[in-house]
Structure formats: C-alpha cells, structure tokens
Amino acid sequence: MKLNIRENVLWEVNAEPGETKVVVPDSVSVIGECAFCNCPQLRQVTLPEGLRAIGENAFQDCKELTLIALPNGLNTIGVGAFAGCVGLGELNLPASLAEIGDYAFADCIGLTRVALSENLRVIGGGAFAGCTKLKSITIPGKVESIYGEAFSDCSDLSEVKFLAEPGEVLNHLAPDAFEGTPWLKAQSGMVVLGKLLYKYVSPFKLIGSVKIPEGVRWIGSRAFAGCSQLTDISIPPSVTYIGVGAFEGCKGLESLILPKELKTITREMFKGCIGLKSLALPNIIEIENSAFEECIGLREIQLPQGLRKIGERAFAGCCALKRIDLPKSVYSLGLDAFAECVSLTQAGLPEGLVERGDYYAYFRGCEKLAAAREDWQYTLNSVREFLCEYEKGKGDNVNE
C-alpha cells in the first residue's frame, strides 16, 4: 500500500492487488480529494483520531468498503466523499461534525442506519440521495438547514423525526429534500412541522381558499407553488418569513393580506400569479429578484416607507401596472426592475436613486412612461429622451 502524504494531507493511496485494508497514519489531519479513488477493492479503513477533514470524492465508488469509523474531531465531510460506497451498512457520525457536504453519501444503497451528529447544523444537497435501504432518520435539534434532494429517492424512508420543532432552529428545509420518499407520500394537505409550513401535498389540486394555522412562523420555499386554482390564502400574524417561490404559479390567487412582521418578499414569491390585482406590503424592506414577475393582472402595489431594495426583474412583465411610486427610502434598484411594464405611465423615483442609476436598465420596454412625481427634480419626459438617445447609440451617459 503506497500512501502519498505531504504536510499532514493524504493526497493519494495506491493499493496493490489483493490489499483490502489500510491504516491511515496518525500524522494525517486531512484526506485530500479523490485520495482513495484508485482503491476499488478496499474493504476496511482505519482513520486517525486527529483527522479533521475528508475532502471531496475522497472515497467515491469504493464499492467494497464496508467498515470505516469516523473519529471524534472530524469537522467536515466534503462533496461526494463517500458517494457510491454501496457496501456501507451503518454510519455513526461523530459529535464534532457540523456539516455534511453535498452528495456526501449519495447512492450508498446498502446503508440501512444513520446516526447523525448531535451538533450537526447543515445537511447538504443530495447528501443521502438514493440511499434506498434507509428506513428512518432522526434530525438532530441543532440542524439549521437541509438542502435540496438531501434524502430524495430514499425509497424505504418512511419515518422522519425532528428532535426540535422546525421553525425554531431549522429554518431552511428544501421543498425537494424528501422527494420520492414514503414519508412524504404519506402526507396530505398542508404539511406543518412545528412552526414550519413545509409544503402542500395532495394528489389533487388545491381549490378555493386555505387558512394557515396560527403559530406557524415560516412558510417553506415553493410551499404552494403550482396550486393554480388557489384563490385566497389567510396568513396568520405569527408568520415572519415566506420562502422562495412560495406562491409561484398560483394563477387564481386574488386575495392576500401579508403579516406585519414579514420583512422580505423573497425571490419569485408571486411570480406568475396572474390573478393578483393589488397588494399592500405593510413593513417590507426588501423585494427580491422576480418577486412579482409576470403578474400580468397586477394594477396596484402599495410600497411602504422603509422599503430599501428592489431586485432584478422584481416587477418585470406586470403589464397592467400603470403607476409606481418608490418611497425615498429606496437606495437600490435592480436591472430590469420594471421592464416590459407596458401600461406604466407614471413613476416616482427618489432623486438620489436616479442620480446613481441608468433609467434604461430599470424601465426597458416601458413605452408609455410619461413623467415622474412633480416633487422630485427628475421627470421621465427627459427619461424618454434619454431612452431614445440610448436606442440610437447617441446617449451621452450610457457608460456612466
């Protein structure tokens, strides 16, 4: 067995034919990327107590590996570190481990039991995807984020336990984290986990109105996405965060009152909600990218004093919107924020924002835009002239 070790990093292991065991020296604190990729026959690895990190793809496709003890003190397991290790049957993660990298144990089809670290905070995307024999999993109480496809296609996973109420510590649970599992398929209607409304699950389309239970603090990403016949939703005042794309594609959504504690309209939250005609944003300080993109029925939006940022394409394609007044608190406006708002005839912009901005970048395709509010110095009559010059390539300020 040849081990290439430099500066306490095990870079490469080359096993002779018939060699199935390896003892990693005590001097090694890091196992480098693909270190064991040339050891398909490896069955047993002994790791040193001083090991701190296992690099990306370190043991990937070591299909014969059946026995490995991860030492206490290990902090990081990298992307794809044990992906495809089909011989692994059980896994005990040490208390020192805080993060599991993306696809770290993906397609470990022999894995039947996993004991997650009590101090674990992050479970990466696809971390256990395709572990088809895994039947149950207990999520420790300190986990903050479970990313996309973390347990997807775990076709035997029927039991999921959370040691702390989701919404207390766990504040990001990807909508597809448990996709393709019996546990998710057994859910019906609104899946409420503690203070987190994870998603709406049903073989039938959600029709009419829905009332979110009192006490829910978080609405998960894409929770109601695609519920095209949802017309009305009641959100309790306890909600403080609504995830990315939560109502995207809810074409029939007409009525909605946002809670006062909500501070951010997240990315694509209402994208494609073509039935939404008006909306008040009580205490919002940021509207993220594409939040209202393609809301073609939106005629009125009340932007609050205190609003600071409007993201790229936030209102792009809102072709019924006729007027927009940005409060003086706005200091950042994203590219194409109001692009293709073809009915827009009036827009009020804070003076300082206009001085720093490029009109064309904000209002591309807004042919009817006439004038800004009179109490600010800049009018969009001059903007129209600027746009014409821009199109002709004669604008003096194009590169400013």
**CA distances (Å), origin 61, targets 3, 36, 203, 358:** 19, 9, 37, 52
Q: What is the pLDDT along the chain (400 residues), one digit of tens a residue?
A: 788 999 999 999 988 888 899 999 999 999 999 999 888 899 999 999 999 999 999 999 999 999 899 999 999 999 999 999 999 999 999 999 999 999 999 999 999 999 999 999 999 999 999 999 999 999 999 999 999 999 999 999 999 999 988 878 898 999 999 999 999 999 988 999 989 999 998 756 667 889 999 999 999 999 999 998 899 999 999 999 999 999 999 999 988 899 999 999 999 999 999 999 999 999 999 999 999 999 999 999 989 999 999 999 999 999 999 999 999 999 999 999 999 999 998 888 887 775 544 677 888 888 887 443 333 334 444 444 545 554 555 445 444 4
pLDDT at residue number 374: 39
Is 32 inside a domain boundary?
Answer: yes
Answer positive or negative: Cα dihedral of 352, 357, 360, 363.
negative
Smallest CA-to-CA distance from 160 within 185, 135, 141, 126 is with 135
Q: Distance of CA 278 to CAs 174, 219, 257, 303, 337, Å? A: 29, 21, 10, 11, 18
Domain count for the chain, please give it. Answer: 1
Report if residue 28 sits inside a domain.
Answer: yes
Expressed as residue numbers, the domain containing 25 is: 1-186
Phi, psi of 185 (to 5 degrees): -65, -25
The domain that contains 133 carries what CATH number? 3.80.10.10
Residue 42 belongs to some domain of the structure: yes
Residues 6+ apart with CB under 8 A from 223: 175, 197, 198, 199, 200, 243, 246
Is residue 337 included in any domain, yes or no?
no
Q: Identify whether 266 is part of a domain.
A: no
Tell me what pLDDT residue 167 has. Answer: 77
- Length reported for the chain: 400
From residue 346, give the alpha-carbon distance in Å to each of 29, 144, 309, 340.
Answer: 63, 44, 20, 14
CA distance linking residue 265 with residue 310, whole number of Å = 10
Domain presence at residue 127: yes
> 33-52 burial by CB neighbour count: b if 16+ within 10 A, else e?
bbbbeebeebbebebbebbb
Confidence at residue 389, expressed as pLDDT on a 0 to 100 scale = 54
Task: Say if 342 falls within a structural domain.
Answer: no
Is residue 207 assigned to a domain?
A: no
Residue 22 has a pLDDT of 92
